[in-house]
A and B are shown apart, each in its own frame.
Chain A
Amino acid sequence: MSKRNSISLKNGLTAAALALAATAFYGCDNSTAQNSLPIYGEREPVERTVDGKTVIDTIYHQIPDFAFVDQDSQRVTQETVAGKVYVTDFFFTSCPTICPKMKTQMLRVYEAYKDNPNVVLLSHSIDPAHDTVAVLKDYADRLGVETAKWHLLTGDKDSIYTMAEAYLAAAQEDEGAEGGFSHSGDFYLIDQQRRIRGHYNGTEEEDVDRLIRDIPLLLNEKKDEK
C-alpha cells in the first residue's frame, strides 16, 4: 500500500513544509472569508517606494513558463492557460498503480467543467520516452476526451520533472516502484495568475468533490477583481 503512493523523503518534506506554511498563513489571515482559497508556496515581501512611502508587496510562488506538446501535437504553453483556471497532475499511460483511479477522478472534473472554456486540464506524462504523442492520442481517444479541454502532455523529460517541482509535486524515476516511476496522485488547482491554490488526493472521490467545489471560487475571484 505504501509503495503505491510512495513519495520520496525530500518531496515529503517539501509537502510538510508547504502544509506548515499554509497553516501559518491561515493563522494570521483570519479576516479572509471561508470561501476563499489559500495561496500555496513560498512568498517574498518586496519593498518598493510609492510617492516617498514604503509599500510592501508580496510576490507569490508562480508556476514558471513551460512548453510541452499534447496528444494532437499542439504546443501547450503558459499562453494556453492564460487567464484560465487549470487542474494539473502527473501520470504515465503504462502505470499499474494509482493512475487509472486518478484518471477516473479527473474524468469527473472534466465532465463537471466540460462546457466552461475558462477551465482547462493538463496531465503531464512522467514517462515521456514511452508516452509519445501517438501513445497519448490513443489514450485520450480511449478516455473519450477533447483536446481543447484536457491536454495530455509530453516533452523534454527534465523539463517535465522541473515542472513537477514547481507544482510541489512528487515525481521521480524509481526502479523499485511498480512501473518504474513513483509519483503522488495529487491534483493541483492553479489560478489565473498561475499560483497554486489547492491540492487534492486524485485517487479519492471526496477530495475530488472538494476540488470540483473549489473551482468556482477561483472563477468568481477573477470577476470580483474587475
Chain B
Amino acid sequence: MGAFALTTLTQCFTKKKDEGKRLYETHCQSCHMDDGSGLKSLIPPLAQADYLQTQRDQLPCIIRHGMDGSIVVNGVEYNKEMPGVEHLRVDHITNLLNYIQTNFGNDNPRYTMQEVEELLEACPPTR
C-alpha cells in the first residue's frame, strides 16, 4: 500500500516535471528541433542562445504572441515569422520557459510563476 502510494506520488511529480518538455515537443520542437539547434539561418537556436539571457523578460510574450521581424541570435541574423501559442496558461509558460532555460546545454536562471505573470501583463491575450 505504501509502495503504491509512493509510486502514484512519484508519477505525479514526474508528470509535473515533464510538462515543460511535453509542451516543447508539442509546440516548439518542429521548428527549433529536438536538440534546440534550429535550422541554419532560418530558425534560430535555443541551445546556448544569447537571446535567452539578453531578452529574458520578453520571452513570455514571445511565446504567447509569437514574433516577427529581424533579430540577431549568437551573431546570426534571422527574419521569419514565429507563431504564438495564445492558449497557454501562465503555469504552462513558466514550465516551458524553465525547460528551455535549463536544457540543450543551457544553464540559465529559472522563472517563478509570479515573475512570468508580471511579464505577461505587457501582452494581454487578444481573445
Contact = CB atoms under 8 A, between A and B. Distances in A.
12 contacts: A96-B30, A96-B31, A100-B30, A100-B31, A100-B33, A100-B42, A101-B33, A142-B40, A142-B41, A143-B40, A144-B40, A144-B41
Interface in B12-61: 30-31, 33, 39-43
Contacts of B118: none
Contacts, number: 31
A98 B41 CA distance: 17
B78 to A, nearest CB: 8
Contacts of A103: 39, 42
B83 interface: yes
Contacts of A94: 81
Interface residues of A, number: 15
A95 B27 CA distance: 13
A31 B33 CA distance: 42
A98 B30 contact: yes
Contacts of B39: 100, 103-104, 143
Contact of A4 (B30, B31, B42): B30
Given A96-B83, A139-B42, A143-B40, A104 B30 contact: no
Interface residues of B, number: 10
A100 B43 contact: yes
A144 B83 CA distance: 24
Interface string A147-184: 00000000000000000000000000000000000000
Contacts of B30: 4, 96-98, 100-101
Contacts of B41: 141-144
Nearest to B42: A142
A130 to B, nearest CB: 11
Contacts of A101: 30, 33
Contacts of A104: 33, 39
Nearest to A1: B26
